[in-house]
Amino acid sequence: MGLGEVINNTGLFKNVDIKVLLPRGLISIGIILFGIVIGKLVTSGLKKLFMKIELEKKVKKSLTDLFLIIIRWSIYIIFFSLGLNYLDISNLTKNITNILITIPTFVGALILILLGFSVAYFLKKVILTTEIKGVEIVSEVVFYFVVYITGVYAIKTALIPLGEQITNYLIMILTGVFGGAGAYLLVKKFSK
């Protein structure tokens, strides 16, 4: 049994000619390596730009690092996907592309959570500056409501590949769990 037969018997490489696969594989590796170089160059250029405009004095370093990581890995994923598509192995490419789709959706969900938490914290502090009786409860409710809304959008964004119905069921279950826990904690906190 030759190498070509073993590759065809795996199921992922149906009707693939080894004589075509080898050169395409080398070119695919070249595309992926080129993407790694481009990702590192773009990240390095952005880092120098951030230092030149003194962005770290205006924004926390961890936020700029997060932005650079997102940019670098987005470039890696694009070139990895291009390399796989050039291989022209439909079963393998389809399976890995489905996995690669989830990575940007999770990054988008994390960004939504970060923005939602920031907005919620800001609104909570603004509400607390007013000197109205019972403002603590209102600020807590607004804070958790904004976090909840952005959390729902983040879940919908992260779980796009799963489908609408599964995502909606998961959101309903999480709403019940976190709603009950949140109500318990608010009552416990303000009943003292």
**Tens digits of per-residue pLDDT, 93-151?**
777 777 777 777 887 888 888 888 889 999 999 988 887 887 888 888 888 889 888 98
Q: Return d(Cα 96, Cα 127) in angstroms, integer.
A: 47
Indicate if 41 and 79 belong to the same structural domain. Answer: yes
In 3D space, the residue among 60, 163, 140, 70 whose CA is nearest the CA of residue 108 turns out to be 70
Indicate if 15 and 43 belong to the same structural domain. Answer: yes
Domains contained in the chain, number: 2
Give a yes or no: residue 153 inside a domain.
yes
Q: Which range marks the domain in which residue 159 is found? A: 102-192
Q: Which amino acid, one-letter code, is at 153? A: Y
Indicate if 33 and 60 belong to the same structural domain. Answer: yes
Indicate if 118 and 160 belong to the same structural domain. Answer: yes
Give a yes or no: residue 1 inside a domain.
no
> What is the structure's pLDDT at 48?
92
Label residue 43 by pLDDT band (50, 70, 90).
very high
Indicate if 166 and 80 belong to the same structural domain. Answer: no
Rounded average pLDDT over 50-71: 82
Q: Which amino acid, one-letter code, is at 94? A: K
Indicate if 111 and 155 belong to the same structural domain. Answer: yes
Indicate if 30 and 106 belong to the same structural domain. Answer: no
Indicate if 108 and 189 belong to the same structural domain. Answer: yes
Domain end (from 88, 119, 145): 88
Token couple for 17: 């000619």
Indicate if 61 and 19 belong to the same structural domain. Answer: yes
Neighbouring C-beta atoms of residue 79, cutoff 10 Å? 20
Domain end (from 88, 122, 155): 88
> What is the structure's pLDDT at 7?
53
Check: pTM over 0.85? Answer yes or no: no
Does residue 173 have a pLDDT over 60? Answer: yes
Of 2-11, 46-55, 94-103, 143-152, which range is least confident? 2-11
Alpha helical stretches, state H, the chain: 3-9, 18-52, 61-87, 90-129, 135-158, 164-190
For the chain, the average pLDDT equals: 82
> What is the structure's pLDDT at 2?
55
Give a yes or no: residue 3 inside a domain.
no
Label residue 41 by pLDDT band (50, 70, 90).
very high
